[in-house]
Structure 1
Amino acid sequence: MCGRYVLEGPLSRLTAYFDARYTEEESHFKNSYNIAPTTIVPVVRINREGERVILNHVWGLIPHWAKDKTVSAKLNNARGETVHEKPSFRTGFKKYRCLIPASGYYEWQAPSESSGGRKQPFFIYPNETPYFAMAGVCDHWIDKTSGVLVMSTAIITTDPCEKLRHVHDRMPVMIPKDDWVDWLDPKNNDANSIRKFISSSDEVNFHAVGFEVSGVGRNRIDSDVLIKPRVN
């Protein structure tokens, strides 16, 4: 799974890399080193005019048929093996795919006998590019009380690449740049052909980081100290 990730700017680098226009006020974008589910995050999509844009979504899918938005906290990830058939995700997979920019993400390694039962956090980041383009699905939910439209997203995960197998048993699906056009194409509704993009990537680096990212009050810590290599 992917439970927390990082996104660094500047905004000009983000928009240039994804060749997309940011639709919000620039003041809404900031470096974030501890992005958690239910946070508002930027995603790359194709709008109704066929333009590639960056929109703000809630991380944690709220299906259009949901009674309330509380399900968002439980639907931050979608398994690539079943995303095309699960009721919560299949509409988004068919119609509303996106790219979720990330400078890296965190994963927790199962504790060893010598660790005292404590999971070791790792920061996993791109090998040669400034960003991962994590595969995402989206949906649109309307709050029946307020009438407000809420756009939300979930990260698609798959089996890890060989170099990450000792860290965790899942990783986000990364869409290569050459495949962005096809992945984002809203006219491509064939689930079987879309599923070919569900694969692991070995274009990653990683290192152990300090336990601050997984300690008490972790969601209040948002500093680049979190991604620094752990010092024993």
Structure 2
Amino acid sequence: MCGRFSLIVLVGIIERFGLVQFEFDFLPRYNIAPSQPVPVVIHENGSNQLHFFKWGLIPNWAKDESIGNKLINARAETLEEKPSFNRLLAQKRCLILADGFYEWKKEGRIKRPYRITLQDGRPFAFAFAGLWDSWMSPTGQTISSCTIITTAPNTLLEPIHNRMPVILPQDMESFWLDEGVTFNREIKSLLTPFPAEQMVAYEVSSLVNSSRYDGPECVFPVQSLF
């Protein structure tokens, strides 16, 4: 699964996605957790737009928003089997922006947190493949929310965790957002593990265990904290 990630800067985002409309009140985030607002790029009304959606998908048919707590991730292998995701795979795909994510490695009774990012260390490094939807509450409030698609781990992640988020190659991001692409076989061909040789993983502080802590120490290697 993917239960936490980071996004510290948004350098070059307007140029990368050709944004013409965006909500841009952004502060560095070192420990983004489910139910919080996350930066999402969608293609709607003929243009790419940046919004902040709630992390944890609330389908438009949901009776209440608590279902979002269970839908922070969507397994790539079963998207077409789940009513929560099948319609959105063809109609409402999005990019969830990140520069790293966290997974916990079990060692006996201990879980050690690791941060995984790209080797080149670029600011605003990549985008997760995601799905989104809008839901109207009984009081008339519209909530837009999203989920991160996960897949099998690559060889770097395999010793740490049995899942990883789908990270799209940069040259396929526009294809993923294209509303004209609706054939699921083409779409699902992108839902594969990112190349291990382009990534790096390192142990980080247990401070990241708390979703209430969002300081820069979350992204530092353990050895640099002592």
TM-score (ref. length: structure 1)? 0.90
The corresponding residue for 1:133 is 127
Question: What is the 5 A alignment of 1:182-197?
Answer: 182-197=175-190
Q: Tell whether 2:54 aligns with 1:58.
A: yes
Q: Tell whether 2:166 aligns with 1:206.
A: no
* Displacement after TM superposition at 1:173 (Å): 0.4
Unaligned 5+ segments in structure 2 are none
Q: Secondary structure at the match of 2:90?
A: helix
Q: Tell whether 2:32 aligns with 1:38.
A: no
The corresponding residue for 1:155 is 148
Runs of 4+ in 1 over 6 A off after TM superposition: none
Unaligned 5+ segments in structure 1 are none
Residue identity in the other structure for 2:207: E
The corresponding residue for 1:92 is 88
* Displacement after TM superposition at 1:74 (Å): 1.0
Q: Secondary structure at the match of 1:122?
A: strand
Q: Secondary structure at the match of 1:197?
A: coil
Q: Tell whether 2:138 aligns with 1:144.
A: yes
Residue identity in the other structure for 2:126: F
CA distance in 2, matches of 1:15, 1:76: 26
CA distance in 1, matches of 2:52, 2:156: 32
**Deviation by residue 1:178-198 (Cα, 9 ceiling, x = unmatched):** 111211111211112211011
The corresponding residue for 1:120 is 112
Residue identity in the other structure for 2:129: A
Overall identity of the aligned pairs, in %: 38
The corresponding residue for 2:166 is 173
Q: Secondary structure at the match of 2:188?
A: helix
CA distance in 2, matches of 1:95, 1:84: 13
CA distance in 2, matches of 1:30, 1:21: 20
Q: Secondary structure at the match of 1:220?
A: coil
CA distance in 2, matches of 1:14, 1:221: 26
| Cα-Cα RMSD | 1.5
The corresponding residue for 2:2 is 2
Note closer, same or farther for the CA distance 1:118–1:93 as it changes in structure 2 (3 Å cut): same
The corresponding residue for 2:19 is 20
* Displacement after TM superposition at 1:143 (Å): 1.2
- Whether the 8 Å CA contact 1:92–1:138 is kept in 2: the answer is yes
**Deviation by residue 1:136-168 (Cα, 9 ceiling, x = unmatched):** 0111111122x1211110000000111211011
CA distance in 1, matches of 2:205, 2:19: 34
CA distance in 2, matches of 1:82, 1:12: 34
Q: Secondary structure at the match of 1:120?
A: strand
The aligned length equals 220
CA distance in 2, matches of 1:154, 1:226: 23
Q: Tell whether 2:37 aligns with 1:74.
A: no
- Whether the 8 Å CA contact 2:156–2:201 is kept in 1: the answer is no
- Whether the 8 Å CA contact 1:84–1:94 is kept in 2: the answer is no
- Whether the 8 Å CA contact 2:166–2:193 is kept in 1: the answer is yes
CA distance in 2, matches of 1:79, 1:126: 22
Residue identity in the other structure for 1:225: E
